[in-house]
Amino acid sequence: MVESRPVGINRRVRGSSPLSGAISLMEGHGFMYWVYILQNPGRRFYIGHTDDLNLRLHSHNRTDKIGGKFTRKNGPWELVWSEEHPQ
């Protein structure tokens, strides 16, 4: 079956970033991002990506919200691996 949509259209995919189309417009402009892995004392892992690794790590370890997300409820988190990538 031949796909009827033009190539390069940013489709809505569950779990995808709504910014993925916009980020590709920054190619060639020095935009970098990090892929990282965190580990908590219970030996659970969290994998993520960001354009500001220090700020993101701080955000994962915040404790000021009671009903926080997965990383806030399961921290503290330690950075165990990261790798920088150009966009």
pLDDT score at 76: 93
For the chain, what is the domain count? 1
Q: What is the residue whose two structure tokens read 């009827």? A: 4
Sequence-ordered strand ranges (E) for the chain: 32-39, 45-50, 78-86
pLDDT digits (tens, 9 = 90+) for 5-58: 444 444 444 444 444 444 444 445 568 999 999 999 999 999 999 999 999 999
Peptide bond preceding 86 in cis form (omega within 30 of 0): no
Domain presence at residue 68: yes
Domain that includes residue 75, residue range? 38-86
pLDDT score at 29: 55
Confidence tier at 68 by pLDDT (50, 70, 90)? low
pLDDT score at 62: 87
Domain presence at residue 1: no
